[in-house]
Chains A and B, each alone.
Chain A
Amino acid sequence: MLTTDICIVGAGPVGLFAVFEAGLLKMRCHVIDALPTVGGQLAEIYPKKPIYDIPGFPEVLAGDLVKNLEKQIEPFHPTFTLGERVEHLHKQDDGSFIVETSEGTKVACKVVVIAGGLGSFEPRKPAIEQLEDFEGKGVAYMVKDPEKFRSKRVVLAGGGDSALDWTIFLSGVAEELTLVHRGTTFRGVPESAEKVVSMAEEGHIKLLLKSNVTEVHGNGKLNAVTVLIDNETEHTIEADYFIPLFGLVPKLGPIENWGLELDKGAIKVDTFDYSTNIEGVYAIGDINTYPGKLKLILCGFHEAALMAQSAYNIINPGKKYVLKYTTVNGIQEL
């Protein structure tokens, strides 16, 4: 089992900056995120958009802000578990915690900081009957290990960047690949769209436009999908895998069941230190609520700083922390 001082749930900007604030006070952090990459909303929803309200940066691209935050926390050597959702929070008799993920990873820590933003990003699922019955049995919403699809018959659905990118990538891996897209144009990068169209023209992949997957079939395991073309022609494709890629939507998810005091899907906190009703558990960033709350990156950063001061007292009982500016000692590596 992993052991650390602080376990941070959520690798959005606020979770990342919390590592920095904790690091200054010599506390070690482990960060968990359901997404395979760090950055939260900035990386998932708007990496290419400029942000104008980060002090000291008249303009910074969301993706670059994430990169800078990663660089800023390097000296503190945080550890990460990515691509796993935090499911359970177990309080131990001594007041410490064990945090457990969907994949069974366990982290022992003294303090838990929930920086879960809007919740964990979950795949947007198409409305197909029985789809969920085939999850893990041929239906997947993410490509984690492309090798799984080697020499298999794969049907992808969607028209955005990830549908295009994985079509290009998996075309060299799968035995047979079909991309089903409900529109006639693509939302992704034009070069990728052109490449997919020319691969279809050359017969390397099948491309079905104005089409929707409407049914999934199989006996315990997926073996075919039905596609409705142009709202009239039904067509069955034999398939070992069906991968709908329609983007992600945030869901509060398991955090709802941890016994935290909630208000309209956000965690109530004490603005003294952003602690929750469970001692040792803090909530910072978009996920918390208090009178006057603003869902801004800046506000989450401030909350991280105050949280760290309070967490210090839990991790170092009896020791008094005296505020020193980083300009006095610089950044001391952990």
Chain B
Amino acid sequence: MEEAIKIIVETQAGERVELEAPTDMGLSVMEVMKANELEVPAICGGMAICATCHVEVLESGDLPEMNDDEAYMLETLPHATGSSRLSCQLRVTPELDGLVVRLMPEA
């Protein structure tokens, strides 16, 4: 996989897992995490309506702007921080190389 980037995910247990994510398949960070069997419920399947794919971005370059759905949802979430994102709304692009996110509890 030439066109792949690295994404590091910190699980709720505090363990860091390094994932390889292809940039040419239109995947979201949520989908990459699920494909690697990380525990992300993502029950709405990426529609920005369940927030069960909530992550906190710990390190990144420039991130894409949030769409309204994502922004509204994060405004409502009790555990959200200034660097929270919905991983289902983050598309895997070369700019995301080296992204470090932490899985957030959602209950």
Contacts and interface: CB of A to CB of B under 8 A. Distances in A.
Interface of A: 41, 45-46, 49, 118, 122, 124-127, 157-160, 181-187, 212, 244, 246-247, 249-251
Contacts of A249: 50, 52, 106-107
A124 B50 CA distance: 11
A125 B76 CA distance: 12
A272 to B, nearest CB: 29
A159 B71 CA distance: 12
Contact of B78 (A118, A246, A251): A246
A56 B73 CA distance: 34
Contacts of B44: 45-46
A53 B72 CA distance: 29
Chain B's interface: helix, strand, loop or mixed, by majority? loop
A45 B43 contact: yes
Given A46-B44, A46-B47, A244 B106 contact: no
Interface string B62-75: 00000000011101
A249 B40 CA distance: 13
B107 A182 contact: no
A212 B79 CA distance: 10
Contacts of A244: 78
Given A122-B107, A124-B106, A159-B72, 8 more contacts: A46-B44, A124-B78, A160-B76, A181-B75, A182-B76, A183-B75, A247-B51, A249-B107
A46 B49 CA distance: 8
A251 B107 contact: yes
Nearest to B80: A182
Nearest to A46: B49
Contacts of A186: 72
B77 interface: yes
Given A124-B78, A244-B78, A246-B78, A45 B49 contact: yes
A126 B75 contact: no
Contacts of B75: 159, 181-185, 187
A126 B79 CA distance: 6
A127 B76 contact: no
Nearest to A246: B78
Given A122-B107, A124-B106, A250 B43 contact: yes
Contact of B79 (A46, A127, A157, A181): A127
A247 B76 contact: yes
A125 B107 contact: yes
Nearest to B79: A127
A187 B73 contact: yes
B11 to A, nearest CB: 16
A41 to B, nearest CB: 8
Given A46-B44, A46-B47, A46-B49, A246 B76 contact: yes
B57 to A, nearest CB: 18
Interface string B53-96: 00000000000000000011101111110000000000000000
A196 to B, nearest CB: 14
Contacts of A212: 78
12 contacts: A45-B44, A45-B49, A46-B49, A124-B78, A124-B107, A158-B76, A160-B76, A182-B76, A182-B78, A247-B51, A247-B76, A251-B107
A249 to B, nearest CB: 5
Contact of B43 (A118, A185, A187): A118
